[in-house]
Amino acid sequence: MLFTKLSSEEKYKAKLFLDAVMYRAGDSIAASIEGLLASISLVLVLGVGTVISAFWSLLGYKLGRAEKG
């Protein structure tokens, strides 16, 4: 769905960017967060996970509503 309105050249460039830069940056950030969360208590980790999940749920809902109308 991300590439439906792009030309072939734009799709190729965007895919390269996503595959190389964003994927590696995501790996790096996830490793850093995992190390941070490993050093704090389980209750805090669960609380952070709950907040992140609630944020993603709200964001998905709002994006879905924006796409419809």
The pLDDT tens digits for 5-47 are 778 888 888 788 888 888 888 899 999 988 887 788 778 888 8
pLDDT value for 51 = 96
Tokens found for residue 12: 């190729």
Q: Is the dihedral of CA 41, 44, 50, 56 positive or negative?
A: negative
- Say if pTM beats, i.e. exceeds, 0.85: no
Helices (H), 1-69: 8-17, 23-38, 42-68
Q: State how far the Cα of 56 lies from the Cα of 24, in Å rounded to an integer.
A: 21
